[in-house]
Chain A
Amino acid sequence: MKKHAKNGNVAIIGIGQTSFSSHKEDQNQVEMVQEAVINALADAGLKIGDIDCIVHGNMELFEMQFAPDLWHSLGTGAYGKDEYRITTGGTTGATLVCAADNLVASGLYGTVLAIGMEKLQEGNTTGGITNMADPLWFRNLQTGALTGTTSDGACAMIFTSEEKVKQGTKNPPVWIRDHIQVHREETIPNLFGFNKPEMTHHCAARTLFARNGIQDPVAYFDVFEMYDPSAWWAVDWLREFFLLKGDEHLRMLEAGDFDLDGRIPINPSGGVIASNPIGATAMLRPAEAALQIRGDAGGHQIKKEVRHALASGFGGTFWTVLMILEKELNWQEVNHD
Chain B
Amino acid sequence: MTMQEDHKDCFVLEGKMALPNQYFAGRLGSRFLIAIRDRKKIMGLKCNQCGKTFVPPREYCEKCWTKIADNWVELGTEGELVNFTVVRYGDRHLPKKPPYILGQIRLDGADTPLVHIVEGIDPREVESGIRVKAVFAAKTTNTIMDIDHFEPV
Chain A residues within an 8 Å CB radius of B15: 135
Could you count the A-B residue pairs with CB atoms below 8 Å apart for me: how many are there?
Answer: 57
Q: A31-B59, A74-B58, A124-B19 are in contact. Are A135 and B13 (CB under 8 A)?
A: yes
Chain A residues within an 8 Å CB radius of B26: 25-28, 31
Is B4 an interface position by the 8 A CB rule?
Answer: no
Give the Cβ gap from A73 to chain B, nearest Cβ, in Å: 9
Is A2 an interface position by the 8 A CB rule?
Answer: no
Give the residue of B17, B21, B59, B60 whose beta carbon is less than 8 angstroms from that of A123. Answer: B21
| A122 contacts B13, C-beta separation under 8 Å | no
Is A136 an interface position by the 8 A CB rule?
Answer: yes
Is B2 an interface position by the 8 A CB rule?
Answer: no
Chain B residues within an 8 Å CB radius of A127: 17, 19
Measured in the bound complex, the distance between the Cα atoms of B17 and A79 in whole Å is 33
Measured in the bound complex, the distance between the Cα atoms of B66 and A10 in whole Å is 30
Chain A residues within an 8 Å CB radius of B89: none
Interface string of B16-43 (1 = CB under 8 A from A): 0101111111111100000000000000
B interface residue count range (under 10 / 10 to 19 / 20 to 34 / 35 or more)? 10 to 19
> What are some 22 contacts across the A-B interface (CB < 8 A)?
A27-B24, A28-B25, A28-B26, A28-B29, A29-B23, A31-B28, A31-B59, A34-B59, A38-B60, A38-B65, A64-B19, A74-B58, A74-B60, A74-B62, A79-B62, A121-B24, A123-B19, A127-B17, A127-B19, A131-B17, A135-B13, A135-B15
| B24 contacts A124, C-beta separation under 8 Å | no
Interface string of A63-83 (1 = CB under 8 A from B): 110000000001001010000
B interface residues, Cβ below 8 angstroms from A: 13, 15, 17, 19-29, 58-60, 62, 65
Q: Considering the complex of A and B, which 10 residue pairs feature the smallest CB-CB distances, nearest first?
A: A28-B26, A127-B19, A64-B21, A124-B19, A122-B22, A26-B27, A123-B21, A27-B26, A31-B59, A25-B24
Chain A residues within an 8 Å CB radius of B24: 24-29, 119, 121-122
Main secondary structure of the interface of B (DSSP, over half): loop
Give the residue of A30, A79, A122 whose beta carbon is less than 8 angstroms from that of B21. Answer: A122
Which chain A residue shows the least CB distance to B26?
A28
Chain B residues within an 8 Å CB radius of A303: none
Please give 18 more A-B residue pairs, beta carbons under 8 A apart, in addition to A24-B24, A48-B65, A123-B19: A26-B27, A27-B26, A27-B27, A28-B28, A30-B59, A47-B65, A63-B21, A74-B58, A79-B62, A119-B24, A122-B22, A122-B23, A123-B21, A123-B22, A124-B20, A127-B17, A127-B19, A135-B13
Measured in the bound complex, the distance between the Cα atoms of B15 and A128 in whole Å is 14
Give the Cβ gap from A152 to chain B, nearest Cβ, in Å: 9
Q: A34-B60, A47-B65 are in contact. Are A28 and B13 (CB under 8 A)?
A: no
Chain A residues within an 8 Å CB radius of B19: 64, 123-124, 127-128
Interface string of A87-127 (1 = CB under 8 A from B): 00000000000000000000000000000000101111001
| A28 contacts B60, C-beta separation under 8 Å | no
Which chain B residue shows the least CB distance to A79?
B62
Measured in the bound complex, the distance between the Cα atoms of B27 and A128 in whole Å is 27
Chain A residues within an 8 Å CB radius of B20: 124
Which chain B residue shows the least CB distance to A77?
B65
Measured in the bound complex, the distance between the Cα atoms of B14 and A136 in whole Å is 10
